[in-house]
Amino acid sequence: MSPTIYMTIYIPGDSGALALGAEKVAKATAKELAERGIAAKIVRNGSRGAYFLEPMVEVETTEGRRAYGPVKAADVKGLFDAGFLTGGQHRLALGDPEDIPFIAKQTRLTFARCGITDPVSLEDYEAHGGLDGLRKAVAMAPLDIVKQVTESGLRGRGGAGFPTGIKWKTVLDTTADRKYIVCNADEGDSATFADRMIMEGDPFVLIEGMTIAGIATGATKGFVYIRSEYPHAVATMNKAVEVARKAGVLGATVLGSPNAFDIEIRVGAGAYVCGEETSLLNSLEGKRGVVRAKPPLPAIQGLFGKPTVINNVISLASVPIIMDKGAVFYKDFGMGRSRGTIPIQIAGNVKHGGLFEIAFGLSLGEIVDEIGGGTRSGRPVKAVQVGGPLGAYFPRELFDTPFDYEEFAKRDGLIGHAGITVFDDTADMLKQARFAMEFCAIESCGKCTPCRIGSTRGMEVIDRLAAGIEPEKSLALVTDLCNTMKFGSLCALGGFTPYPVMSAITHFPEDFKPAPARVAAE
């Protein structure tokens, strides 16, 4: 072994992996290396997203990467003993990570590098195709960039699914002395973690995407608004921005071009509603995080009253590959009006939880049963909530629904930020409906009346329903309330809370029968 050639061990620094003990594994590994006098480098990569295998340790061998997982600190000594540094056999050996079915089945465009590279190494990033999109963009006219993004069919991955290119076009066409790119990284939906993974695992792709957005629209300043619950993402993004600045990717002359663009990382203060774009803008301005009425659209009067592109992390992180490989390449994936790939985040009571990037169009059943492998408890799947806490509960009968914005809307659901939560047959859907109202009550900004008062009243009426008080009247009142909230609320928080409530009532009516009847039925 030549002293100049280091062996490389990849131990994820991703929050999900850390939660599963990756830090202890890394420490044990370092200790073992020191004790054994082995000169090896530990890279804290991102996660590939197969959380059921985390912490997943990888080593670089002559035959390529070899994975082991899930690794506990106690396993480290054994792994060394088994010669895992050169791909030695061990009960935790997973072989070539690319061959792990959960990973092999994916189409990784946005997450192409996530879990593979050193997140804060710009060399590593470039070695894996990074900056190719930006290099092309700096040589293009802004309108041509906007056209390419529009033609790719990319839609906002935050949940609303608004065509990204059209939003950019509005900002490009609005004249102002200053424009902004704001990245919404206030990823607050339960069961979602795509934004966090990319920020922790491949921050440069977001920086590159935002820089392209800046060049395309004439904005010179970008903000990434990250929820405070993501300290590792904040640290990684800050580090990456610093590296990008030093390398001239950010700054007065982006990659030596006449374009100026810089990024600032901002941290939220714990309000879910600040993930709503106008609240986020208020919060960024230092104001109370309450929703603004639209119009004016942020694209025309956004941050500090200036034209602002506000996009989700995944939307922006998907731009570099579109610029690199072309609109057609990206558009060829997907179905209907949902083009490209979508990082589905599978969580809840599920066997194979994690992030699964794939072209739109997979059926919900395939995702839950085949990719997710059914429930972790082994009991039958009762319901799947798609799109976070404000998404609808889908029963098995709707498992043929393809993962597509329009198809979900047709069935009174939404794909949102593409998080899905699996429930087995022990779930009480009345409690879930109440939880939706409670969530809304806790997170309501308090500006509009349907959300401010309605969510609290919703909890109370569902409680009455649970107690068997005037069940028919209460059910009618909840239904009326949901109508008021859906059509009357100012933003999606109050407006979408009726989705989980009404879907639970519609698809699981037996859970809403008066308590004595339910007991009798059991």
Partner 1 sequence: MNIKADFPTLIQETDYGTPESTAEKQVTLTVDGRSVTVPEGTSIMRAAMEGGVEIPKLCATDMLDSFGSCRICLVEIEGRNGTPASCTTPVGEGMIVHTQTDRLDAIRRGVMELYVSDHPTGWNEKAGTGASEFDAVAKSVGLAENRYGVEGRNHVHEDGVAPGHGSLAVDYIARDESNPYFSYDPAQCIVCSRCVRACEEVQGTFALTIEGRGFESRMVAGMHEDFITSECVSCGACVQACPTDALREKTVLEKGMPERSAVTTCAYCGVGCSFKAEVKDDEVIRMMPYKDGKANHGHSCVKGRFAYGYATHKDRILSPMIREKITDPWREVSWEEAIAYTANEFRRIQYQYGRAAVGGITSSRCTNEETYLVQKLVRQGFLNNNVDTCARVCHSPTGYGLGQTYGTSAGTQDFDSVEFTDVAVIIGANPASAHPVFASRLKKRLRQGAKLIVLDPRRTEMVKSAHVEAAYHLPLKPGTNVAVLTSLAHVIVTEGLFDEAFIRERCDWAEFQDWASFVAMPENSPEAVSKLTGVDPELVRGAARLYAKGGNGAIYYGLGVTEHSQGSTTVMAIANLAMATGNIGRPGVGVNPLRGQNNVQGSCDMGSFPHELPGYRHISGEAVRDIYESLWGVKLDDEPGLRIPNMLDAAVDGSFKGIYIQGEDILQSDPDTKHVASGLAAMECVVVHDLFLNETANYAHVFLPGSTFLEKDGTFTNAERRINMVRKVVEPKARYADWEATQELARAIGLDWNYTHPSQIMDEIAKTTPSFAGVSFDLLDRVGSVQWPCNEKAPLGTPIMHVDGFVRGKGKFIRTEYVATDERTGPRYPLLLTTGRILSQYNVGAQTRRTENSMWHSEDRLEIHPHDAENRGIRDGDWVRLASRSGETTLRALITDRVSPGVVYTTFHHPDTQANVITTDFSDWATNCPEYKVTAVQVAPSNGPTEWQKDYNEQARQSRRIKSHLEAAE
Give min distance, CB of 170 to partner 1, in A: 16
Nearest to 259 by CA among 225, 213, 319, 298: 213
Helix, strand, coil content of the chain in percent (nearest 5): 45, 15, 35
Q: Between 487 and 517, whose beta carbon lies closer to partner 1?
A: 487
Stretch that binds partner 1, among 188-196, 204-212, 336-344, 475-483 (CB under 8 A): 475-483
Choose, by CB under 8 A, the member of 12, 348, 416, 450 that binds partner 1.
450
What separation in angstroms does the CA of 174 have from each of 170, 258, 299, 308, 427? 6, 21, 8, 10, 50
Residue range at the interface with partner 1 (CB under 8 A); choices 8-16, 53-61, 323-331, 476-484: 476-484
Asked whether 502 and 472 are in contact (CB, 8 A), the reply is no
User: Which two three-digit tokens encode residue 168?
Assistant: 């950019």
* CA nearest neighbour of 484 among 441, 451, 442: 451
By CB under 8 A, tell whether 446 contacts partner 1: yes
- Stretch of residues binding partner 1 (CB under 8 A), selected from 30-38, 199-207, 415-423, 450-458: 450-458
Report the residue number, 424 or 443, with the smaller CB distance to partner 1: 443
Quick one: which segment of 234-242, 253-261, 357-365, 435-443 binds partner 1 (CB under 8 A)? 435-443
473 binds partner 1 (CB under 8 A): yes
The residue behind tokens 């047709």 is 410
How near is the Cβ of 410 to partner 1 at its closest, in Å?
A: 15
Answer for which of 445, 466, 504, 505 binds partner 1 (CB under 8 A) is: 445
Least distance in angstroms from the C-beta of 406 to partner 1:
14
User: Among 143, 248, 487, 509, which residue sits at the site for partner 1 (rule: CB under 8 A)?
Assistant: 487
Binding to partner 1 by CB under 8 A, coded x per residue (else -) over 284-313, reads: ----x-x--xxx------------------
Residue 79 contacts partner 1 per CB under 8 A = no
Q: Does 501 bind partner 1 (CB under 8 A)?
A: no
**Closer CB to partner 1, 306 or 507, in the complex:** 306
Near partner 1 by CB under 8 A: residue from 311, 338, 385, 444: 444
For partner 1, which is the closer residue by CB, 327 or 448? 448
Task: Pick between residue 420 and residue 478 the one whose CB is nearest to partner 1.
Answer: 478
Residue from 18, 271, 317, 392 in contact with partner 1 (CB under 8 A)? 271
Distance separating alpha carbons of residues 340 and 107, to the nearest angstrom: 10
- Per residue, the 3-state secondary structure of 213-246, as one string, reads HHHHHCCCEEEEEECCCCHHHHHHHHHHHHHHHH
Closer residue to partner 1 (CB): 335 or 453: 453
Long-range contacts of 289-292 (CB under 8 A, 24+ apart): 289/445, 290/445, 290/446, 290/447, 291/445, 291/447, 291/448, 291/490, 291/491, 291/493
* Beta carbon of residue 441, minimum distance to partner 1 (angstroms, whole number): 6
Interaction of residue 489 with partner 1, rule CB under 8 A = yes
Closest of 278, 114, 94 to residue 203, by C-alpha: 114
| Joined tokens for residue 324 | 């690199």
Q: Which two tokens stand for residue 474?
A: 């209460």
Sequence-distant (6+) residues with CB within 8 A of 56 are 12, 17, 47, 48, 50, 67, 68, 69, 70, 71, 94, 97
Answer yes or no whether residue 441 interacts with partner 1 by CB under 8 A.
yes
Q: Is 433 in the site for partner 1 (CB under 8 A)?
A: no
Look at the block and give the residue holding tokens 């969510």: 455
Nearer to partner 1, 102 or 439 (CB): 439
Residues 169-188 that bind partner 1 (CB under 8 A): none
Radius of gyration of the chain (CA): 24
Task: Verify binding: residue 276, partner 1, rule CB under 8 A.
Answer: no
Query: DSSP for 166-193?
Result: HHHHHHHHS--S--EEEEEE---STT--
CA distances from 288 to 73, 273, 442 (A): 44, 11, 16
By the rule CB under 8 A, 155 interacts with partner 1: no
Nearest-10 Cα torsion for 90, 96, 99, 103:
90
Region near partner 1 per CB under 8 A, out of 134-142, 358-366, 399-407, 484-492: 484-492
Q: How far is the CB of 458 from partner 1 (least distance, A)?
A: 10
Applying CB under 8 A, the span of 67-75, 234-242, 328-336, 485-493 interacting with partner 1 comes to 485-493
443 binds partner 1 (CB under 8 A): yes
Contacting residues toward partner 1, per CB under 8 A: 271, 288, 290, 293-295, 441-457, 460-461, 473, 477, 480-481, 483-484, 487-490
